[in-house]
Amino acid sequence: MLWSTIFVRYASSFINTSSLRRPVFDIKGIISRQDEMRNSISRRGDGSSEQLDFLLRNRETELALQDERNLLTSARKKLGFVLGNLLKQNSGGTDLDEIARLQLELLQYKVKISALENKLDVLSETIHNAVESLPNWLSDSVPSDPNVPELQEVINGDSVQQIESALPISKHDHRTIGLNLGLMNFETAARISGSSWYYLINDGALLEQALIQFSLSRARKAGYTMVVPPSIVKSEIISACGFKPRDQNDEKQVYSIEGEPLSLAGTAEIPLGALHSQSTISTPLKYVGVSRSYRAEAGARGKDTAGLYRVHEFTKVELFHFTDSEKAEGELEELREFQASLIRDLGLKAKMLNMPTTDLGAPALKKYDCEAWMPGRGSWGELTSSSNCGDYQARRLGIKQRSKATGKLEYAHTLNGTALAVPRVIVAILEQFYIPETNSVVIPEVLQPFMDDKKEIRAL
């Protein structure tokens, strides 16, 4: 099989529109830490061991071809000087045979170098694609069990069991509550847009705006710079941030614009991460962005697709950090605590989890999820997540910073976190704060100033 076709499926999602320069990977570091990389691949269930093996088998061949090309190029250059001098000295035309021999030898060098460069280009491109598809390293503090998260914190409760007992599974799910109170309309949305779209109406729309303003206000007070980013981005930017257009079952997960190298962003993490692409920055920088997010959610099944929990379009308030390697780990903990403070002040009963390796995307060294108890769903549901992505995204986006310790340019480290995934927070609020006796929902106190000072939502 040709080198150029081995990993084409891994590189095909990276549509080059010349927005980004070719990323430079630390191939030497990957080879020297190959056991760590293999451990990361194995624990993630990533499936990219084939690419690592290809790199390890062929890197020496690539270097040998580079050396051979350099030797041939040097020899050709020297021969060119000899021929040039001979032509200058041969005004009488006495060395025509020698000149012809040297010209033929130069032509032979040219043919050899051209063939060698073609072979080298194919191999180097395939190695590059293989390395590009490798996941990030893993933090030492990621749970050892690849499938079981570690409980970090219980929010607004004594224990997970106490929360589940205090709010037993209920027939009053958010969809039923929302329809009864006139907060949402799924039927019309299905008719005009399709399944898993929705209208928020009256206090439903006001509740969304209240959550946005609440989280933005808190983020600004915490030192975040506010951004309203674009929702349509170049497909190569999505790939550089580590998002794949299709999942492991080859089902579409990203909405692409037909005939254009553009896609709808599934999260503001993507345009926020690209805000400083191809530039050198001074860190730390912290941004909060509010945007509509778009997810194809192909393969989604079951009751989660009937309400607000799993939808194609939604509002999300996103946090994004640019920092250096020394501060990244500490900033992840700051992100986690900021997210927990929002959920805590909303009064939602939730838990913070250190997520296992099979739940980590390729860019993440480590990830926390915050899940709220949703009695109407009869299960816990993710509200927020936060990830330390190391230099994975910055390498691909070309973002560098100058080290304060060494003065040298190095790749920045990036972190991202959801302040609030608004529809899912609405799900949790409706299901946790619903009062069946009065058919009403208590509005969290911190949201009341953004909801005309109302204390509860009632049917009109």
Q: Would the CATH topology of 47-133 be identical to that of 150-458?
A: no
Please tell us whether the domain made up of 47-133 is placed in CATH 1.20.58: yes
DSSP H helix total and E strand total for the chain: 15, 18
Distance in angstroms (rounded) separating the CA atoms of residues 261 and 238: 11
Starting at the earlier edge strand, list the strands of the sheet with 456-458: 434-435, 440-442, 456-458
Structure confidence at residue 94 (pLDDT): 60
Instruction: State yes or no: 313 annotated in a binding site.
Output: yes
Distance in angstroms (rounded) separating the CA atoms of residues 309 and 151: 23
Task: Give the active site residue among 310, 336, 395, 396.
Answer: 310
Task: Give the active site residue among 68, 125, 382, 410.
Answer: 382
Distance in angstroms (rounded) separating the CA atoms of residues 379 and 373: 6
Burial (CB count <10 Å: 0-12, 13-18, 19+), residue 268: buried
Instruction: State yes or no: 314 annotated in a binding site.
Output: yes
| Domains in the chain: boundaries | 47-133, 150-458
Instruction: State yes or no: 382 annotated in a binding site.
Output: yes
According to DSSP, the residues that pair with 287 across neighbouring strands are: 225, 320
The one-digit pLDDT tens for each residue of the chain (460 residues) are: 344 333 333 344 444 556 799 999 999 999 999 999 999 999 998 888 999 999 999 999 999 999 999 999 999 999 999 888 888 886 656 678 888 899 999 999 999 999 999 999 999 999 999 999 999 999 999 999 999 999 999 999 999 999 999 999 999 999 999 999 999 999 999 999 999 999 999 999 999 999 999 999 999 999 999 999 999 999 999 999 998 755 544 456 789 999 999 999 999 999 999 999 999 999 999 999 999 999 987 555 566 678 999 999 999 999 999 999 999 999 999 999 999 999 999 999 999 999 999 999 999 999 999 999 999 999 999 999 999 999 999 999 999 999 888 889 999 999 999 999 999 999 999 999 999 999 999 999 999 999 999 999 999 8
3-state secondary structure of 50: helix
Name the nearest CA neighbour of 288 among 352, 229, 370: 229
| Tokens linked to 239 | 């790939």
User: Do residues 275 and 212 lie in contact, with contact meaning Cβ atoms separated by under 8 Å?
Assistant: no
Structure confidence at residue 460 (pLDDT): 82
Instruction: State yes or no: 33 annotated in a binding site.
Output: no
Task: Give the active site residue among 218, 295, 395, 396.
Answer: 295
310 is catalytic: yes
User: Do residues 18 and 234 lie in contact, with contact meaning Cβ atoms separated by under 8 Å?
Assistant: no
The residues, any chain, with a CB within 8 Å of residue 59's CB and separated by 6 or more, are 27, 31, 127
Instruction: State yes or no: 186 annotated in a binding site.
Output: no
Q: What are phi and psi of 419, to 5 degrees?
A: -70, -55
| Tokens linked to 164 | 């589940």
Structure confidence at residue 1 (pLDDT): 37
Name the nearest CA neighbour of 291 among 231, 336, 348, 247: 231
Name the nearest CA neighbour of 294 among 363, 209, 176, 193: 193
Instruction: State yes or no: 180 annotated in a binding site.
Output: no
What sections of 45-95 are H helices per DSSP?
49-89
Instruction: State yes or no: 312 annotated in a binding site.
Output: yes
Structure confidence at residue 86 (pLDDT): 85
Instruction: State yes or no: 425 annotated in a binding site.
Output: no
Instruction: State yes or no: 83 annotated in a binding site.
Output: no
43 is catalytic: no
Half-sphere exposure of 347 (CA within 13 A, CB side): 13
Answering whether pTM is above 0.85, one says yes
Instruction: State yes or no: 445 annotated in a binding site.
Output: no
Task: Give the active site residue among 385, 395, 396, 431.
Answer: 385
295 is catalytic: yes
Instruction: State yes or no: 267 annotated in a binding site.
Output: yes
Cα 112 to chain centroid, rounded: 43
Q: What is the CATH number of domain 150-458?
A: 3.30.930.10
Half-sphere exposure of 75 (CA within 13 A, CB side): 15
